[in-house]
Structure 1
Amino acid sequence: MSTSLSTKSKRSFQITHELILLFVLIALVIFFASMSDNFLTTGNFINIIRQTAMLGIIAAGMTMVLLIGGIDLSVASNVALTSVVTGTLLSTGVDPVLAVLAGVATGVAVGTVNGLIVTKIGIPALITTLGMMTIVRGIGFVITDGYPVFGFPESIRWFGTGYLFGIPVPAIIMVIVFIIVWILLYKTYLGRYIYALGGNQEAARLSGVNTQRMQLLVIMTSGFLCSIAGMILLGRLNSGQPNALQAFELEVVTAVVLGGVSIFGGQGKLLGVVLGVMIMGVLANGLVILNVGEFYQMIITGLVLLIAVGMDRIYNRKKQS
């Protein structure tokens, strides 16, 4: 009986949390629409989903990483390096398919190194990815000597600025990624293992889950999704820039935690993350339309992160009590 009540309580929390996010999203849309006639337009809506695509794709990977009780602070650096590697190869005349594959391999390689350090050496994910964040960013600067990379086929811009059936390509890619991750989390045994690993790693190990392999697989998947975002970044900027997306990892973590995924692992729903991503996208776009300064935008983003983490902390304390 107690187990049944606990399960109902958890479901109630998730539904309530997602509904709250939906109300917040609607409230933001109404607020910005009332403040500017330029907000609630088809063109701006398309602009929001295009700009939100990279955040959503990276957040999908971060969701799985947080669910296993980890974190990946190297995601933004990984995206930038992927775009730099691909752009550099394209600028030297390498076949576009091979250049893109090399970029994807770069993203996966960064994720693999992160995963191996965490699982084999035992360094906590926070410290590992914090160190890799700097290393990976530095590699990008070394490759380009600190300058943007130009001079590759115009067709590469399709990833970042193209349309398919009237819908921005980045948005289509984001939706596909979310669908695949949803299937992985809720329709396969891997998803059950991910939640079990984040809930209680030792219990998961005793029940037969290869915890190290699962951690490595999830962190590698995050790296792979970073490489996909890197292709979009390259196409959007039409250049490979080693300094791109500085501090973007904080926006990713904010969106995921705001969506209800616990920083302690094992809790959260992908639907909440989708809403969290949309809230961040609408907020960023609305602030730009209202001509709010970049520094103030940084302050607001930081406050949202603190509020999201604080809510997560309060919920976990109530749960433990």
Structure 2
Amino acid sequence: MIAALLAIALFTAGSPYFATADNATTILRNSIELLLAALGMTLLLAMGGIDISVGVAMGVAAIVVGRLLQADTSPFIAGLSGPIVGALLGILTGAVVVLGRIPAIVGTLGLFGVYRTAVFILLGGQWLTGLPTSLTEVMGLRIAGIPLSAVILILTYAVVWFLFRRTPFGTHLLAIGHSEEKARLSGVPVTRVRMAAFVFSGALIGLAATFYIANYRNVAMTVGGSLGLDAVAAVVLGGTSILGGRCSLVGTVLGVLLLRILQNGLLLIGVPSLWQTVVTGGLLIAVLTLEVLGNRLNLAKAGWMKR
């Protein structure tokens, strides 16, 4: 929170366009897909997993949503197809990583290439543009004065929070993150829990695809290219350990906002967009370095106390 406030103060001083209602709306709108991806990534990192294919997986789901809209399908059905396709991709990811016993970073790197190729094939080498506005209009409907899109986001966060904090699912994820072998010996259904985490994360990515189509009404060839890196960075910035066993859902939300504020502010003060990835990667390296140093200090302290 302090880092976000400092960034806001810095960019407000650096650009007259930063502290405006329109720019705040832009930041929030650009945070939606990242927030959904980051919530799923939080669950994966909590159990010591990761999925770097989430960006292109969102692209595959977005193409399906867009094609359905082009075919004059009901916007409700098209919108629901996003989470469904995402969950199916999550099953594939889980099959590769969990059932195939392939390290998550290796398996999802391979799937990144598969999904990237699928995006090119499905798009036929061209952007998907000029999509109908029906899904955008549905997302703009108001319930008690609140846009449907905001209601969906609030409910999604509430569901993730409830699953993680009020059901055995969250406890099992953290137990697996601390030690998969100890969790298995304690009776945790490790395979089932890990599969469920990938499927649930995939459904969140598919929902992000629905929001992506509703907000932008196009699919670029490079869709979701940096989403995976941004999601990991946001989650780690929010206090979740990349080694597993510790996470913060509130921290994830704050990490998403901080990352989007930094990216938006840098662009407004004249820093080329190319450097946004450098900043994101630099922040990730810095946070991970601090985590490693903290772990070493804790180990050293524990060793000294045993003497």
TM-score (norm 1): 0.87
Query: RMSD in angstroms over aligned alpha carbons?
Result: 1.9
Structure 1 gap segments, 5+ residues each: 1-21
Structure 2 gap segments, 5+ residues each: 301-307
Q: Distance in 2 between matches of 1:90 and 1:81?
A: 15
Q: Residue 76 in 1 paired to residue 50 in 2? A: no
1:108-127 mapped onto 2 (5 Å cutoff): 108-127=87-106
Q: Distance in 1 between matches of 2:164 and 2:57?
A: 24
Q: Deviations over 1:238-284 (max 9, x none)?
A: 12334212122111111111111111101121122121111101111
Q: 1:237 aligns with which of 187, 208, 216?
A: 216
Identity between Structure 1 and Structure 2 (%):
32
Which residue number corresponds to residue 16 of structure 1? none
Q: Residue 130 in 1 paired to residue 109 in 2? A: yes
Deviation, 1:174, is 3.3
Deviates more, 1:149-158 or 1:204-213: 149-158
- The answer on whether the counterparts of 2:132 and 2:217 sit within 8 Å (CA) in structure 1 is no
Q: 2:276 aligns with which of 290, 294, 297?
A: 297
Q: 2:183 aligns with which of 181, 185, 204?
A: 204
Q: Distance in 1 between matches of 2:258 and 2:122?
A: 35
Deviation, 1:159, is 6.7
Q: Distance in 2 between matches of 1:230 and 1:84?
A: 8
Deviates more, 1:245-254 or 1:93-102: 93-102
Which residue number corresponds to residue 40 of structure 1? 19
Q: Deviations over 1:217-254 (max 9, x none)?
A: 00111100000100111112212334212122111111
Residue 285 of structure 1 aligns with an amino acid whose one-letter code is N
Which residue number corresponds to residue 193 of structure 1? 172
Deviates more, 1:163-172 or 1:130-139: 163-172
Q: Distance in 1 between matches of 2:130 and 2:275?
A: 35
Give the 3 Å change call, closer, same or farther, for CA 85–196 of structure 1 in structure 2.
same
Residue 48 of structure 2 aligns with an amino acid whose one-letter code is G
Figure out how many residues of one structure are paired with residues of the other and give that number. Answer: 299
Q: Residue 320 in 1 paired to residue 299 in 2? A: yes
Which residue number corresponds to residue 11 of structure 1? none
* Partner SS for 2:243: coil
Q: Distance in 2 between matches of 1:118 and 1:296?
A: 32
Deviates more, 1:182-191 or 1:205-214: 182-191
Q: 1:101 aligns with which of 58, 69, 80?
A: 80
Q: Distance in 1 between matches of 2:212 and 2:138?
A: 8
- The answer on whether the counterparts of 1:196 and 1:266 sit within 8 Å (CA) in structure 2 is yes
Give the 3 Å change call, closer, same or farther, for CA 159–252 of structure 1 in structure 2.
farther
Deviation, 1:145, is 0.6
Q: 2:39 aligns with which of 60, 69, 72?
A: 60
TM-score (norm 2): 0.91
Give the 3 Å change call, closer, same or farther, for CA 166–307 of structure 1 in structure 2.
farther
Q: Residue 154 in 1 paired to residue 133 in 2? A: yes
Residue 216 of structure 2 aligns with an amino acid whose one-letter code is L
Q: Deviations over 1:111-145 (max 9, x none)?
A: 11111112211011111111111111211211121
* Partner SS for 1:208: coil
